[in-house]
Amino acid sequence: MGAMTVRARTFAALVTSLLTVTACSSTSGPGDSAPVTSDSVPTLGAEVLRSYDRGDDAFTQGFEVDGDVLYEGTGLEGSSFVRRTSLENMTELGRVDLPSDLFGEGITVDGDTLWQITWQDGVAVARDRDTLAEQRRVNYDGEGWGLCTQGGGTPDNRLVMSDGTSTLTFRDPTSFDAVNTVDVTLDGNPVERLNELECAEDGSIYANVWQTFDIMRIDPTTGRVTAVIDGKPLWDSMTATERNGADVFNGIAQIPGTDRFLVTGKFWPKIFEVRFTDPAAVGQN
């Protein structure tokens, strides 16, 4: 999910109604929170390798690369959409709007299916990966925030879903039934407000933490955080004009076959291609 910045020119009426909902409403923007630190796990930086300019119309909820296509799902009732973008030149290849009564959340690709969840509607939409056409819907209990596919292309693959708490739920990729859960902890303490997810090729799960610039790297077997990534320098690197109207840090997508990730935020006008690394090692051979 994530905080909303009031954007009078487009979303004023919608934001006014949503400000009554505490889980999703805030006029504070991304804030200036210091990164979480721990003596037991490293704090990594995000080394910027490249950045891409884009429009500022995406309230980013889901972010994933499959092959040479970047998929993005966005939120807000009446304004939610999912789109395909060329990874090579960031040209939009296709886009489908959600029905006006659905608030879009995380997305993930599993084989030929793109799954898209919703915030408080209890609806998951299965779409054709290439056309984005809706194929079917299933219902689930609770809120939907982030989604990713673990073990994609293998017989034991499963979906991983966050709901704004410290719990990750593993789901069957065909039925969407919940099959297991794990509680995420850092130094034995629960990590709440887990948001957008990325199931990385090394088996880790990366999760944005809502209303912070933190990304948690998680061991999905134990739920333990193995590293904290500080994304605040990405925000600081944007100009005041670029930050105007931008909202919380949200969106992680690994570029397949590499150690690089695309990251962004809600209404951010930039996508950053980064490598997560020890800040002290940046620039060293």
| pLDDT tens digits, 174-183 | 999 999 999 9
Mean pLDDT, residues 59-69 taken together = 95
- With beta carbons less than 8 A apart as the criterion, state whether 251 and 260 touch: no
| pLDDT tens digits, 142-166 | 999 999 999 765 667 899 999 999 9
| pLDDT tens digits, 116-131 | 999 999 999 999 999 9
- % of residues, the chain, pLDDT over 90: 76
3-state secondary structure 176-190: CCEEEEEECEECCEE
| pLDDT tens digits, 18-28 | 332 333 433 34
Mean pLDDT, residues 54-65 taken together = 92
Residue 219 has pLDDT above 80, yes or no: yes
| pLDDT tens digits, 226-261 | 999 999 999 999 999 999 989 999 999 999 999 999
Grade residue 280 by pLDDT with cuts at 50, 70 and 90: low
Most distant CA pair in the chain: distance in Å? 53
Residue 34 has pLDDT above 70, yes or no: no
Q: What is the mean pLDDT of the chain?
A: 86
Grade residue 39 by pLDDT with cuts at 50, 70 and 90: confident
Mean pLDDT, residues 268-285 taken together = 78
Write down the residue that tokens 């805030």 correspond to.
Answer: 26
CB 241: neighbour CB atoms within 10 A? 8
DSSP code, position 192:
-
Grade residue 99 by pLDDT with cuts at 50, 70 and 90: very high
Residue 214 has pLDDT above 50, yes or no: yes
- With beta carbons less than 8 A apart as the criterion, state whether 242 and 270 touch: yes
